[in-house]
Amino acid sequence: MKILYIDIDSLRPDHLGCYGYHRETSPNIDSLAERGVRFTNYYASDAPCAPSRTGLFSSKYGIHTGVVNHGGVQADMRPIGADRPFNYHHTEHQAWVEALRFKGHHTAMISPFPGRHAAWHVQQGFLETYDTGKHAGETAGDVSKDALRWIKERATEKDDWFLYLNFWDPHTPYRTPEEYGNPFKNDPAPDWLTDEIIAEQRESYGPMSIRDLPRGNQWAGLPSEITCREDFKSWIDGYDTAIRHVDDHVGKILDALREQGILDETIIIISADHGENQGELNVYGDHQTADHITSRIPCIVAGPGIKQGHVDEDFHYQIDFGPTVSELVGAKASGKWDGQSFLPALTDGESAGRPYLVVSQNAWSCQRSARFENWILIRTYHDGLKEYPELMLFDIENDPHETVNLAEERPEIVAKGLRLLDQWVAEQMKSSDSPIDPMWAVIHEGGPFHTRGDALDTYLAKLRKQERHEAAERLESRYRPEKLKG
């Protein structure tokens, strides 16, 4: 069995045609969805990058691995302790990639991610690892060049292989080559971001918010802040063009598999590490929350033995993928894995989901959210210099861009969400090898990695330099109320 996993960083599903997007961003990915299974409620258990990929490859929640942050103690896997075996082969500590390896699969990774985040633990089980060398500054052409080389040299050499491949273009800074142009020049931007919302957001604050867009972009025409709908269109054009550029190179990889005569015998997965807020909760071009937009990711699976044209609406985590592919190749799941196989959904279109999900963020804010029914309840423990209330409740079915907080209007739904959060934490801590909840360790260590240290003083100075004094006072009052009282 040949398996190709394509991980496209920062790819949110609702900017793909197969998920209903109005722009033609993804014809090649859409073709895979037509002949496979598309999951509509597939979420990263922990965001952003390093916590999510640690979850993917360990098949464990961050509350169990300890990896929930991008720096500090909670950016590294917890040691096993006195019971650590000589190696992890055929023990409960064996990662699912290694399980594939011992079932005869040649395992390979093409990605700069382990080096970018010093996340060497994700390499467990890979026989080959290749760093594309640009610290996630790669364009799709850089990545596909190495992928095409691997396919030409190795793909027909082995009967069974698993190749994990990383594209990065949808992650800021946007860097699609200038000669690629703008395929969406004449297409309107999503209409949910109204002039009224823009005006409200401009009075607020936060890292990567509407007046502080991510810097360093190399794609022409991107604004430094958003003042109107036209600016928003320019910004979204940059993101969508990056997606289309990746999709073109996905097409080249599919063509290469076809030329080698192995496309029809290769299972192909399209997914991501996290989504990307593009205005939702006043975050642009980044992934700073445990909300629906950052946490939901695409999952498309196509290939031999996969049900064709099926749409699965059940709740799943990315940590569920490992047990699923392990069952597919006949490998035994570890009792240490938190993931649950959804293989019946892939092969027969049968329901194999979870009743609800809990998703987390601790690198840009400290949040946990319950995703249940048509709701997401977001509880904020540390706002990461953003103007968020403690509780936010959104009706995802009717308000997917999270524009109306219903927490005060629907206290009974808030109560249910809080019960689910408490129930989940209690269950996970009961089964944990450590008495420490890593989220609280992050808070006591100084907060989310990207907003700790002198970040508050630096951002306050920036707000005041921009003469945004009211916003600066509101921010300072949240962190230093005694100073303003004095």
Q: Report the CATH number that the domain containing residue 12 is assigned in CATH.
A: 3.40.720.10
327 occurs within a structural domain: yes
216 occurs within a structural domain: no
Q: pLDDT tens for residues 229-273?
A: 999 999 999 999 999 999 999 999 999 999 999 999 999 999 999
> What phi and psi, each to the nearest 5 degrees, are found at residue 72?
80, -170
Is residue 482 scored above 80 in pLDDT? no
38 occurs within a structural domain: yes
Helix (H) or strand (E) holding 91: none
The pLDDT, as a whole number, for residue 483 is: 66
Three-class HEC string of 143-159:
HHHHHHHHHHHHCCCCC
Question: In Å, what is the CA distance from 416 to each residue of 49, 232, 413?
Answer: 29, 36, 5
215 occurs within a structural domain: no
Number of domains present in the structure of the chain: 1
Domain that includes residue 36, residue range: 2-194+233-354
The pLDDT, as a whole number, for residue 87 is: 94
Whole-number Å distance between alpha carbons of 397 and 409:
17
Quick one: pLDDT band at residue 431, thresholds 50, 70, 90?
A: very high
Whole-number Å distance between alpha carbons of 297 and 240:
16
408 occurs within a structural domain: no
What average pLDDT does the chain have? 97
Q: What is the mean pLDDT of residues 340-359?
A: 98
373 occurs within a structural domain: no
Count of beta carbons in the 10 Å neighbourhood of residue 58:
27
Count of beta carbons in the 10 Å neighbourhood of residue 431:
12
The pLDDT, as a whole number, for residue 481 is: 83
The pLDDT, as a whole number, for residue 77 is: 97
The pLDDT, as a whole number, for residue 484 is: 56
Tell whether pTM > 0.95.
yes
Residues 6 or more apart in contact with residue 430 via CB below 8 angstroms: none
The pLDDT, as a whole number, for residue 157 is: 86
Residues 6 or more apart in contact with residue 155 via CB below 8 angstroms: 2, 161, 163, 257, 260, 262
Quick one: pLDDT band at residue 485, thresholds 50, 70, 90?
A: low
Helix (H) or strand (E) holding 317: strand 310-317
Whole-number Å distance between alpha carbons of 342 and 322:
10
Q: What percent of the chain has pLDDT over 70?
A: 99
Is residue 486 scored above 80 in pLDDT? no
448 occurs within a structural domain: no
Q: What is the mean pLDDT of residues 28-32?
A: 98
115 occurs within a structural domain: yes
